[in-house]
Chain A
Amino acid sequence: MSDATITLEVTRYRPGHDREPHPQSFEVPFQKDWVVLDALNHIKDRIDGTLSYRWSCRMGVCGSCGMMVNGVPKLTCAAFLRDYRPGPIRVEPLANFPVIRDLVIALDDFMEKLRRVKPWIIRAEEKPVSEGEYRQTPAQLETYKQFSMCINCMLCYAACPVYGLAPAFVGPAAIALAYRYNLDSRDEGYRLREPVMSDAVGVWECTFVGECSVVCPKGVDPAAAIQRSKLAGATDWLLSMVMPWGGRR
């Protein structure tokens, strides 16, 4: 512990009070094991109870606490104050999203897109539970595992220049999840997801900037999912090469 402090410049926006978002400075104690979220909690508990933001797990897995920290999308529960010394640290709501209040953004668009890509196992015929599990080898698991690690934190959307310009774009995380199911040896739903994926605002919209994969805190690599989906969509021949189960149906 020390007497040192650090300044946070936090974006405030209270509908009904503020015409537009504006920064407000708060000085908080500098503690070397504090993350930005700890500093926000300190502000809320001790300085200004009106500050609004989302958080829950404080261990980087619930996906609630994404914000722009010095202009970069970050999980604030995993962004240490010590990495931003001497400050000030700019904390803003995630870019590219409508702001509900202060640091809270609206997620409705993503939730709708997520449902649209049908992120569930689709099969022509379901095996009854009494017949046991579907066998899946570690190698088959490995093909899609990475894309199943998405915590829906929205950092990739905040980093995506295409989503910024064309909000209809399905976007990195939803495409990565669709791709995750396409790759799953238990799934046969590729053709049902295809219309959304190959739609003008599906994978083809992406200009392959790759920012999404840079900011992703979970190593999902949505850019790869998009790129490989494009390839897969290109020809059925290619499809059957990269995804051997492709012609099974």
Chain B
Amino acid sequence: MPGEDGYQHDLLVIGGGGAGLRAAIAAAEESNRLSIAVLSKVYPMRSHTVSAEGGTAAVMRDDDSLDTHAKDTIFGSDFLADQDVVETFVREAPGEVIQLEHWGCPWSRDPDGRVSVRPFGGMTVNRTLYAADKTGFHMLHSLFQTSLKYEKIVRYDEWFATSLLIEDGTVCGVTALNLHDGRMRPIVAKAVIMCTGGAGRIFPFTTNAAIKTGDGMALAYRAGVPLKDMEFVQYHPTGLPGTGILITEAARGEGGHLKNKDGYRYLQDYGLGPPTDTPVHRKMELGPRDILSRCHIQEHQKGRTFDGPYGHYVHLDLRHLGEKLIDKNLPFVRELARNYVGIDPVHEPIPVRPVVHYMMGGISTDITGKTSLDGLYAAGEAACVSINGANRLGSNSLTELLVFGARAGRSAARHALERAAPRSNPLAQLASDERRRLDQRFLRVDGREKIADIREEMQKAMESGCGIYRDRATMEATCQTLAKLRERFAHISLADKDAVFNTELIAALELECTLEVAETVARSALAREESRGSHTRTDFPKRDDARFLKHSLAYRTPDGPRIEYLPVTITRWPPEERKY
């Protein structure tokens, strides 16, 4: 709901997930003179952060060190992470998770009352804090409930941001559609932080919730801000066939085994062995996600996976862990497996297959969350700062929301304190232009194209061209399909012309965003002629540091994305071969 000054604020956060709420609280703590608004297309506690299961990484124990966390992250990123950013990340992570503990997050505990840590893929020591296997849920609700105590934070719940307001090269807010009455309004602010999350829904088979459509990435991209490293899409090795619902990596951290159709722990054939009874850091099932997903495909090509109605799968076997441990540390895994595939992991192995999970790329920012556009900041999965490089390590993302959400909140707050309020007259004009655009594009025309058709074709094209293994020919075909879909989108037809809670209009706006984001993924992938992290090309199977130890930047042009490059910052860890 708007504050006293109508729709004028000092600071506007788009997105009420982990990153957005952390940013808003950080800004409120930075100065009590600021009016702060959080605008979100869903109620904040519905944001996708709620689905995160496994945990959040930070150095908490004497057997760990900041350098080890940094090294694991950089190694996992296949040396594409900016090392100065990673060093800041690992340094600020412990304070952030403790802050969240002070705000009530019910972290799982050791007998002596300290927060517990568990092993996670690609990490050399136990450093992943968790709240059973509902970590994201507890983090999001703790942040949201804590945010309620700040009266300076007002909320626009179920408002959809449709564009950035820009005047004289400076961001002055957004135009947003109130779902409840269908009205478009300019929400004016001196600084805007994009915390709109990822874009997994550009693919057909994903762990991501329906709302993950890359809106913020598209809004920034349309305003001329480059999207960084978009070709890097993480597949998680263990999703449920059919729905794509995630079975957390914590299941393997607790000791779960991946087995092929002969009951054999096949990862030992791919250099990840030897198999042991108790989990060993970075070995076997605790290898990084990009490698485990590729092993699955190779195992399939050898004819050693199962075949089901939703394609090939392998088994994730937890039976040896026993009911007690499963109920204590993995209760949600048990609930999900029982509900959605009718299997009780205490007695049977869970069918799993690789599934699109996370976007390493996003809105290009510096270490303070600032973008190239004056007044625009970004954090969380929507942003690329970058700590994840070519492959994110599990449990680094939730920590990223905290560290860089807080950083973006503080720097945007300082920016807002220094700036004069934007003039609102021209902005009202921009908002009514935007309203007219939507009316003409979606509500007055009777086109022939259906949202669901275009969405399905886009998703199919992305899976075929930008999946786990990629090559030039299929990526080019994907790019052509996407260009055609963009043309077809101009003839989209909506049955729903109502103002109140028009979810079909929202679906159309989201589809427009996904189409744009999908093109940046495909074009960046096509241009990167090497294999690194999650980006694996059969026609360029080797990493090529001479040509591609660089971030890619996708800029919008009328003919589709233009790709440029930016050097990677190396501080103390010179690139070496990535072997586990």
Contacts and interface: CB of A to CB of B under 8 A. Distances in A.
A14 B137 CA distance: 33
A34 to B, nearest CB: 10
B501 A151 contact: no
Given A132-B98, A184-B104, A62 B46 contact: yes
18 contacts: A14-B500, A16-B500, A33-B242, A49-B450, A49-B496, A58-B209, A59-B51, A62-B51, A63-B50, A101-B500, A114-B145, A115-B148, A120-B149, A121-B102, A121-B103, A138-B111, A151-B50, A151-B137
A64 B501 contact: no
A3 interface: no
A59 B496 contact: no
A56 B210 contact: yes
Contacts of B500: 14-16, 100-101
A187 B104 contact: yes
Contact of A58 (B148, B245, B332): B245
Given A49-B495, A115-B148, 9 more contacts: A50-B498, A52-B501, A52-B502, A52-B503, A57-B210, A100-B500, A120-B103, A133-B101, A136-B109
B: interface residue count bin: 35 or more
A130 B102 CA distance: 11
Interface in B90-129: 95, 98-99, 101-104, 106-115
Interface string A24-49: 00000000010000000000111011
A56 B42 contact: yes
A57 B50 contact: yes
B532 interface: no
A118 to B, nearest CB: 7
A135 B113 contact: yes
A228 B246 CA distance: 36
A177 B50 contact: no
Given A14-B500, A135-B114, A151-B137, A127 B102 contact: yes
Given A49-B494, A56-B42, A120-B104, A129 B95 contact: yes
A100 B106 contact: no
A202 to B, nearest CB: 18
B134 A61 contact: yes
Contacts of B137: 61, 151
Interface of A: 1, 14-17, 33, 44-46, 48-50, 52-64, 78, 100-102, 104, 107, 111, 114-115, 118-121, 126-127, 129-130, 132-138, 140-141, 144-145, 148-152, 177, 181, 184, 186-187
Contact of A137 (B42, B95, B113, B335): B113
Interface string B336-366: 1001100000000000000000000000000
Nearest to A14: B498
Given A33-B242, A135-B114, A148-B106, A57 B209 contact: yes
B148 A141 contact: no
B45 A152 contact: yes
Contacts of B108: 138, 141
Interface in B173-224: 180, 209-211
